[in-house]
Amino acid sequence: MVASDAVLAAVAAEGGAGLLEKLKPEEIAANIALINENLKKIFNDADMPELIQARLAMCSYTSIANFQTFASSEDSAKETCKAPGLSKVSLPTIAMISAVILAWQTCKTRHESATKHDAEKKNLGLEPTLRPGEYTTYKQQYEIAHGAKTADELPGASILEKLDKEIEDGEFKPFRLEEIVSKKEVDDAYEAKVEEQGIPTTTSLTGVLIRQQVKVKVGRPTNPEEFRKRFEILNAGIELSKLKNPEHPLLKDSNEKVWDSHVRYMLGVTVMGLKKTNDEGAVVKTPSWNLVLNYNQKILNKVAVMMNEGPPRTGGSPLPPLPG
C-alpha cells in the first residue's frame, strides 16, 4: 500500500464521505482515463490517491486549465476540499487536502505561465498554437467515444488552431482541402522543418523563446478515396474542437452524418456522376475531377458564409449552382 492509499484508508475509516465515497475499480479506471497526461502526472507527483483523481475527473477536472479553476486561493482551496467530504480535521485529512492543494498550485502556476505565453504571441502577431498536452486530452476523450485512431486518421493540430482563432475572431473562413491534414502529416512536416532549420521559434519582448506554428499544406485529392479521407479528418478535427468549445452553437450541428452526406452528394450521381447526353442518349460530357473539386470548394465557401451570416433569407437552395 502506497502512502496516499494509506491516507485514503485512514480518512475513509474516520467517516469521510462525498469525494471519498467508494467507486468500483472499473469506474475509477474509466474516469482516470479522461484525465490529461500532464495533469495526471501532477496528481501522481502530489501523491493523490486514484479515487480522489477519479472523483475530480467526474467533476470535469481533467486538464490543467480546468483544475486551476478549482479555487482562487489556498484558503478557498481548503474550503472547496471541505465540501466533498474532507472536512473532518485529522492528520490523514490534512495530508489529503495538502495533496489536492499542491496539485492545484502547480496547475495554477503552469496555466498562468501558458496564458502569458499566449498573450506574448498575440502581441507579436503570431498564430496561436495548441499545446501538446491539450491535444492529447481531446484526443483521449475523442477516442473513448470513437475508438482508437492512427495518426493518419487523427486531425492535425493545425485544424484545431484554425478553428480556435476563428472562434476568437468571430469569423469563420472556408476550409480548403489542402489545409485538411492529418496528425501524421503535421508531425512529419514539423520534424522535417526542425531537421532543416532547427525548432521554429521567435523571441518575445521579454526575451522568451516562443514556438511558432508550422503550417502544412498537401496536394488536392486525386481520387474519390482521398477526397473521402479529407472529410473524415475534417469531421474528427471539428469533433475535437467541440470538446474544447462544447457550448459553441456553430459547431454543434457538425457531425459524421453531415459530412458523410456531403461526400456522398459530391461523389454520387448529382455531381461527379452527372452526365450530359445527346438526342440519341449517348453520353457526351461528364464533369472532370478538377471541376468536382472546384464545385466542392464553392460549397465550403458557402458554408463559411452561412456560418457567419446565417442561411439565405430568400428561400430556395443554399447550394451554389451545379457545375455545367
| pLDDT exceeds 80 at position 132 | no
In this predicted structure, what is the pLDDT of residue 121? 57
Q: Residue 10: pLDDT band by 50, 70, 90 thresholds?
A: very low
Taking a C-beta distance cutoff of 8 angstroms, is the pair 179, 205 a contact? no
Distance CA 308, CA 60 (A): 31
**Which H or E run includes 76?**
helix 74-81
**Mean per-residue pLDDT, 111-120:** 69
- 223 to 145, 174, 219, 227, 269: CA distances (angstroms): 29, 21, 12, 6, 16
Per the model's pLDDT, the better-predicted residue between 29 and 3 turns out to be 29
State pLDDT tens for residues 154-171: 999 888 888 888 887 788
Distance CA 240, CA 246 (A): 10
Q: Residue 126: pLDDT band by 50, 70, 90 thresholds?
A: low
| pLDDT exceeds 80 at position 260 | yes
The pTM (predicted TM-score) of the whole model is: 0.62
Place of cell 495554477: 108
Per the model's pLDDT, the better-predicted residue between 143 and 314 turns out to be 143
Task: Classify strands 283-285 and 201-203 as parallel, antiparallel or unpaired.
Answer: unpaired
Euclidean distance between the first and the last CA atom of the chain, given in angstroms as a whole number: 73
| pLDDT exceeds 50 at position 183 | yes
Place of cell 479529407: 230
Closest among 206, 202, 199, 230 to 293, alpha carbons compared: 230
Distance CA 18, CA 245 (A): 29
State pLDDT tens for residues 273-289: 988 888 887 877 889 99
Percent of the chain with pLDDT over 90: 24
| pLDDT exceeds 60 at position 90 | no
Domain residue extents for the chain: 3-123, 132-309
In this predicted structure, what is the pLDDT of residue 182? 94
Instruction: Please count the other Cβ atoms lying within 10 Å of the Cβ belonging to residue 210.
Output: 17
